[in-house]
Chains A and B, each alone.
Chain A
Amino acid sequence: MRRFGSVLLIAVLAFLTVPLFGLATGGDWADAALSKADLAAILTSLLGGSVALLLIFGAGTPLALYLARGRGRFGGVAEALVLIPMLMPTLAIGILLASFYGPAAPAGVLFARFGVALTNSPAAFVLAALYAALPTYIIAARAAFAEVPAELENVARTLGDRPGRVFFRVTLPLARRGIAAALALSWVRAMGEFGIVLIIAYYPQGMPVRLWVDVEDAGVSAVFPLLAAFLLVTLPLPLWLGLRSRRALA
């Protein structure tokens, strides 16, 4: 029975790791190189993702803190509103966003008046990343803040700190590992986003769309250099931060 358990365990872990072997065996590495369009896609993803991540941290942190601490009537409603975009299929979000922010839609017209086009523009790319990653960040950051004992914040206030100062001197430092993991997770969501991007930000092409186009044009084996770059910017840092925050909890 015990041996069967170990075999099953190894089989599941192997099943999960198999895709990585494809990197070594599947690609056409002989004349491996990144095209100009590939480099542009990497740059678009990194820049757009970074801007989105800054906005996510700035806008998502206060809401995560409210959800972690607030016991108000509005708390349950707020949580449901955060969960809805996270649970919706991303393609559905993309279509709904196109009909809300599109050039003919009221919101699209409004933003266009300030010179911001929210479809097929850098702003649209950031917008897609926000919808893909903000809910993930809020839920993960809320869990990190909930781990910080409220009593420590109370003590800091009796020691003369206003709530804003308490946040930067006590809450954030104590939640830092969980917040880092939440940022890493939302970075992965933003980098990997395909469904929303496909509808509202086909241009400028980020890595996922570029990979899709390359696969269509040249076949699977030709896209391995860009695929490797894609995995490099999404996988190692989040994996490390995730393991670190797991260790901190244990």
Chain B
Amino acid sequence: MRAVSVEVRLNAPIALEARFEIRGFTALLGRSGAGKTTILKALAGLLPSAGSPWEGQAPEARPVGYLPQGAALFPHLTVLQNAAYALRGAGRLAEALALLEELGIGALAARPAARISGGEAQRVALARALARRPALLLLDEPSAALDPGTRDQILLWLIETIDGRDLPALAATHDPAVAGLADWLVLLAGGRIIRQGTPREVFNDPRTAAAAELLGYENIWREAGGLRAIRAADIEIVEAGLPATVASVRHQGRDLRLDCGPLVVVVKDGETGRYEAGQRIFLRFPPARLKALAG
């Protein structure tokens, strides 16, 4: 798996200093407004910044493929013309068509780019970026424009296609589910990188409260030994344990979500009627799921 070390330093639009590795399909996880898009644009040369590689080079000189949020196909061109945009010379359309066919979307070639679905647009945007043979792909919120039904399928297709070409890629996302699918995970908070590692490592051991929040830990609290975190779905309800009072009960899809004062508990496939507001229950934190955080 090819890796790239990058560094981005800038003061506007936000102050940011980020140094991290991109290994295979890498997710850059951060809240909205944390500067994920800013890092992508800085790496593409679209914002003035210091760092490496390619410091001071114009966007057109950088070997970077950029897929903005919502794919941003050229709406006045066909799918084929979009895919061929970066190519020059007589054979450019044939080359672009071959690429579209390789990605399984040759049938779309003649369609106007303004009239295809979000998932199709994502694939065409990938073809358009790949045509230039970049050394690094940058994807901004690749799941944002996708329908829930096809989201994971298209994301997995993107990741597998990119990994299949042994091409490093950096995908900005605020969605822990996307981060979980990546080969490498980088967490951004407070204008710097707070953690990087494989998703398994990082999800299992968030280490800091900021990381635990980004990774979707619903429960973070301070006790005598320091900060602790646990996912709402990892808390067990038992006959005897830590006493708690149910404040409210809500459906969460097929599950039940119990609000118990400072703690949130999700009961998988929980049946309504078993729990009600004011009820006293007992909780257990499985030791392997309870995380100790620094600070």
Which A positions have Cβ atoms within 8 angstroms of B? Answer: 149, 151-152, 154-162, 169-170, 173-174
Contacts and interface: CB of A to CB of B under 8 A. Distances in A.
Chain B interface mostly: loop
B285 interface: no
A169 B68 CA distance: 19
B74 A152 contact: yes
Contacts, number: 50
B86 interface: yes
A149 B44 contact: no
Interface in B54-81: 58-60, 62, 64-66, 68, 72, 74-76
Nearest to B68: A151
Contacts of B76: 173-174
Interface string B10-51: 000000000000000000000000000000010011100000
A155 B75 CA distance: 13
A154 B58 CA distance: 11
Given A154-B59, A156-B85, A157-B60, A174 B75 contact: yes
Interface size bracket, B side: 20 to 34
B74 A158 contact: no
A159 B132 CA distance: 7
Chain A interface mostly: helix
Nearest to B140: A151
Interface of B: 41, 44-46, 58-60, 62, 64-66, 68, 72, 74-76, 85-86, 128-129, 132
B86 A159 contact: yes
A173 B128 CA distance: 19
Contacts of A156: 74, 85
Contacts of B60: 157-162
A194 B66 CA distance: 52
Contacts of A162: 58, 60
B125 to A, nearest CB: 8
Nearest to A149: B72
Nearest to A173: B76
A170 B74 contact: yes
Contacts of A159: 60, 85-86, 128-129, 132
* Most chain A CB neighbours (cut-off 10 Å) among B60, B129, B132: B60
23 contacts: A151-B68, A151-B72, A152-B74, A154-B44, A154-B66, A155-B66, A155-B72, A156-B74, A157-B45, A157-B46, A157-B58, A158-B46, A158-B59, A158-B64, A159-B60, A159-B128, A160-B60, A161-B60, A162-B58, A169-B85, A170-B74, A173-B76, A174-B74
A162 B44 CA distance: 14
Nearest to A174: B76
